[in-house]
Amino acid sequence: MTHENEHSEALFLTSSYVFDSAEMAAKSFSDEIQGNVYSRYTNPTVRSFEQRLAMLEEAERAVATSSGMAATLAVIMALLESGDHIVCSRDVFGSTRVMMDKYITKFGVEVSYVPLANLSAWQNAVKANTKMFFCETPSNPLSEIADLEGLSQIAKKANSLLVVDNCFCTPVLQQPLKWGADIVVHSATKYIDGQGRALGGAVVGNAELMDQVQGFLRAAGPTMSPFNAWIFLKGLETLSLRMKAHSANASALALWLSQHPKVSKVFFAGLPDHPGHSLAKKQQSDFGAVVSFVVDGGRDAAWQVIDATQMLSLTANLGDAKTTIVHPATTTHGRLSPEALQEAGIQQGLIRIAVGLEDLEDIKNDIELGLSQL
């Protein structure tokens, strides 16, 4: 595979590779020499993305996957077996929860859920067969923060791997490996792309663990397409600037909302009265861009606010240059029973904003349009 002196990375749209001789083919297939054989195994564009993401997480290696869910699936399939037990934070991404409950448990792996921010709950959930802790911090939609250093200590004592979904922060705002996590999973679909164009994911960690994860991906197939890797490579170039701009907009918006007479509560770890504020300050370089708030009047009031906005996109997606707005209780968390919703702290009057990169005044004006309905 030849690289010319292109400035923008080449996109290698090829499923397989040719060899100079039968001997080279044999040696490549037996891994005697490192070469490209087939794009389910390796692809130069995908490899560039993996190397850069690994650098950003300051990790030995990253392995790209077809989506964020494929990253989590690959970690579990590669590293656990029937009879093992996962302790998982309660407020993980909806599909993570469905995958665990409906599919992972089908293969004899047990899963227990604990409140993210309660270290003693994690400790108490450990069993003789516990092999993995899985968490997502900050949580969605309430911005709860896991104490990664504390969690990693409990996980180590329990001989378990700590896996952190770092999708909301990206390595620009948080590097979980520094706090003792063993593995980071990403949905590149969100901030790494940043403009909602492509699906992808990644697993990051030490070379030994990543070899095992890649072994599963090579055999099973949910690897990243070169085209998507090329989009994410472009995304990584602006990730740092974008995350800072997302965070600045979100912090200012959260402050404005917290002073708004029609808003009864704001959930954002950047606000000093949020229970996770000091932890977030310690382990993140900024607070990210997901802000949730409550209006009086329950579901009807929340729907009224959402429907009156004009610029914001009504969608459950996040990590986009465009600000999105959603009603968690009837969409992202709509499968939960009323009791489970209450346990998770998701009220009917709760609205979630994933703050984008538009001018802050435009975002405020649009939300004001909604709030003025009440």
Chain contacts with ligand PLP (rule: CB under 6 A): 67-69, 93, 95, 136, 165, 167-168, 187, 189-190, 199, 201
According to DSSP, residue 16 is labeled B
At closest approach, how far in Å is the CB of 256 from ligand PLP? 25
Quick one: 202 or 312, whose CB is closer to ligand PLP? 202
Quick one: 146 or 167, whose CB is closer to ligand PLP? 167
Closest CA to 242 of 289, 203, 281: 289
At closest approach, how far in Å is the CB of 14 from ligand PLP? 24
At closest approach, how far in Å is the CB of 75 from ligand PLP? 12
- Residue 90: both structure tokens together: 């309660």
At closest approach, how far in Å is the CB of 68 from ligand PLP? 2
Quick one: 36 or 175, whose CB is closer to ligand PLP? 175
Quick one: 84 or 136, whose CB is closer to ligand PLP? 136
- Residue 96: both structure tokens together: 């993570």
Quick one: 186 or 262, whose CB is closer to ligand PLP? 186
Closest CA to 144 of 4, 267, 5, 49: 267
Closest CA to 76 of 122, 140, 133: 133
At closest approach, how far in Å is the CB of 140 from ligand PLP? 6
At closest approach, how far in Å is the CB of 136 from ligand PLP? 5
- Residue 151: both structure tokens together: 């969690």
Is 23 buried (19+), middle (13-18) or exposed (0-12) by CB count in 10 A?
Answer: exposed
Quick one: 67 or 170, whose CB is closer to ligand PLP? 67
Quick one: 17 or 134, whose CB is closer to ligand PLP? 134
Quick one: 158 or 164, whose CB is closer to ligand PLP? 164
Backbone angles phi, psi at 128, to 5 degrees: -60, -30
Strands (E), 181-262: 183-187, 201-205
CB closest to ligand PLP, residue no: 68
Distance CA 147, CA 137 (A): 9
At closest approach, how far in Å is the CB of 42 from ligand PLP? 21
Whether the bond into 138 is cis, omega within 30 of 0: yes
Quick one: 84 or 165, whose CB is closer to ligand PLP? 165
For tokens 């921010």, the residue is 117
Whether the bond into 176 is cis, omega within 30 of 0: no
At closest approach, how far in Å is the CB of 134 from ligand PLP? 11
Distance CA 181, CA 60 (A): 13
Distance CA 286, CA 126 (A): 31
Helical pair 226-258 and 44-56, crossing angle rounded to 10 deg: 30
At closest approach, how far in Å is the CB of 176 from ligand PLP? 13
Q: Report the phi/psi class of residue 314: left, alpha or beta, with left for phi > 0 and alpha for psi in -120 to 50.
A: beta
Distance CA 278, CA 271 (A): 10
From residue 193, alpha-carbon distances to 9, 118, 150, 207 in Å are 16, 32, 31, 25
At closest approach, how far in Å is the CB of 146 from ligand PLP? 13
Quick one: 199 or 209, whose CB is closer to ligand PLP? 199
